[in-house]
Amino acid sequence: MKKSMKLILLQNVEGLGKEGEIKEVAVGYARNFLIPRGLAEEATDDLIAQMEKRKEKEAKVAEADLEKTEKLASELDGREIEIFAKVSEEGRLYAAITPAKVSAELKKIGHNIASGQIEIKEPIKELGEHEIKINLPHGLESRITLIVKSQQEDEHK
């Protein structure tokens, strides 16, 4: 009588392994706990082949996504964008430049960056150049220069 069997984990199982891994476990543990709860199923040759194909496909998708993100990072890195804002007589902005405003400006030039990806150390309340970090997927980042100009400058053009 078999004492162990090979299973493919359908979900992460604490103390055993992660989803998609093939593990050898005691028959009782498999039949009484893992399989009835939908955490694993018996590792047949067909199922193993399906899992390997799915992993290959996921790897290709991840690789394509990484390439796309790397291209975006290089397009953004060192880029300068301008935002015009209303300014008081002392040269301070009436409203701080927020990540949402930067995100909207980036969208205008064709880059769909969420405001949550834009890192501004302190609220921008002054005219001039400010360096901003953009956090991208896969741990990549880009730095852009934000040039804040007086709205009056825009109106004089």
- Quick: pLDDT tens for 49-76: 988 898 899 999 999 999 999 999 999 9
**For the chain, which residues make up each domain, given as ranges?**
4-66, 73-155
Q: What tens digit of pLDDT does each residue of 94-111 get?
A: 999 999 999 999 999 999
Long-range Cβ contact pairs of 49-56 (< 8 A, separation 24 or more)? 51/8, 51/20, 51/22, 54/20, 55/20
* Position 140, amino acid: L
pTM over 0.85: no
Tell me if the domain spanning 4-66 has CATH number 3.40.5.10: yes
Q: Which CATH number is correct for 73-155, 3.40.50.620, 3.10.430.100, 3.40.640.10, 3.40.50.460?
A: 3.10.430.100
